């Protein structure tokens, strides 16, 4: 009789421990799933005078993603007028200026948020250089820009042309955008919950 009682107690203790470990396991799964999701977001930006960089940093903070700055190999002239000329002739010739840095493992990212200033109505050509460097098929690309007033739409069309195998979202003109609006936009695009 004592033995049977002992066995019953051992059984219940084991059952309790086992169910505890199951709960613990599922809890861990949820945590790591959230963490893994964080790792899948890449926040890429190109910025000449720092405006887009500030927005990219805020997006990185909200999403917890990895940040990558597109650095041009050949610096633009420091003289403003000369810089405008170089940028304009790049746009006109649809140049693909060389980029000096690379994303380590693009494969692990599902969502690529890409920010840039509007140059002559479009994205700077270095952004296209970036997009054409990698195999982005199946990835979601979410553009955002800053500008003196021009909207993002023309550049999104351009991005869609070079990223035919990606899902390119309509993007955000992020001039004077509040954190609340950024969050709403990121939620709408299923980057955050």
Ligand X SMILES: Cc1cc2nc3c(=O)[nH]c(=O)nc-3n(C[C@H](O)[C@H](O)[C@H](O)COP(=O)(O)O)c2cc1C
Percent of the chain that is helix, strand, coil (3-state, to 5): 50, 15, 35
- Cα–Cα distances (Å) from 126 to 75, 90, 115, 159, in that order, read 12, 9, 12, 12
If the CB atoms of residues 47 and 140 are measured against ligand X, the closer one turns out to be 47
Least separation in angstroms between residue 157's CB and ligand X is 15
Least separation in angstroms between residue 63's CB and ligand X is 19
Per CB under 6 A, the segment of 28-36, 98-106, 112-120, 126-134 that binds ligand X is 112-120
Q: How does DSSP assign 140-154, residue by residue?
A: EEEEEEE-SS--SHH
CA count, 13 A, side-chain hemisphere, 174: 32
If the CB atoms of residues 53 and 139 are measured against ligand X, the closer one turns out to be 53
Q: Determine, following the binding rule CB under 6 A, whether residue 147 of this chain makes contact with ligand X.
A: yes
Q: Determine, following the binding rule CB under 6 A, whether residue 51 of this chain makes contact with ligand X.
A: yes
Dist CA 12 CA 33 (whole Å): 31
> What is the size of the binding site for ligand X (CB under 6 A)?
19
Q: Determine, following the binding rule CB under 6 A, whether residue 148 of this chain makes contact with ligand X.
A: yes
Q: Which of 40, 48, 57, 160 binds ligand X (CB under 6 A)?
A: 48
Least separation in angstroms between residue 145's CB and ligand X is 7
Return all residues near 134 (Cβ < 8 A) that are at least 6 apart: 103, 106
Dihedral sign for Cα atoms in the order 152, 56, 132, 89:
positive
Q: Determine, following the binding rule CB under 6 A, whether residue 149 of this chain makes contact with ligand X.
A: yes
Residue 165 contacts residue 138 (beta carbons within 8 Å): yes
If the CB atoms of residues 171 and 192 are measured against ligand X, the closer one turns out to be 171
Q: Determine, following the binding rule CB under 6 A, whether residue 117 of this chain makes contact with ligand X.
A: yes
Q: Determine, following the binding rule CB under 6 A, whether residue 84 of this chain makes contact with ligand X.
A: yes
Q: Determine, following the binding rule CB under 6 A, whether residue 77 of this chain makes contact with ligand X.
A: no
List contacts with ligand X (CB under 6 A): 47-53, 84, 87, 117-121, 146-150
């Amino acid at each position: 009789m004592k033995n049977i009682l002992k066995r019953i107690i051992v059984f219940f203790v084991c059952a309790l421990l086992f169910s505890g470990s199951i709960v613990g396991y599922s809890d861990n799964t949820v945590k790591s799933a959230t963490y893994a999701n964080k790792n899948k977001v890449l926040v890429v930006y190109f910025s000449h005078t720092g405006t887009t960089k500030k927005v990219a940093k805020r997006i990185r903070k909200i999403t917890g993603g990895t940040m990558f700055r597109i650095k041009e190999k050949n610096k633009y002239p420091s003289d403003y007028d000369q810089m405008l000329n170089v940028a304009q002739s790049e746009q006109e010739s649809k140049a693909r200026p060389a980029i000096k840095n690379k994303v380590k493992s693009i494969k692990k990212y599902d969502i690529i948020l890409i920010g840039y200033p509007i140059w002559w109505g479009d994205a700077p050509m270095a952004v296209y250089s970036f997009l054409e460097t990698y195999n982005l098929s199946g990835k979601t690309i979410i553009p955002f820009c800053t500008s003196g007033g021009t909207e993002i739409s023309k550049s999104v069309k351009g991005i869609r042309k070079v990223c035919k195998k990606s899902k390119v979202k309509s993007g955000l003109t992020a001039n004077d955008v509040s954190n609340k609006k950024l969050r709403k936009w990121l939620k709408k695009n299923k980057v955050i919950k």
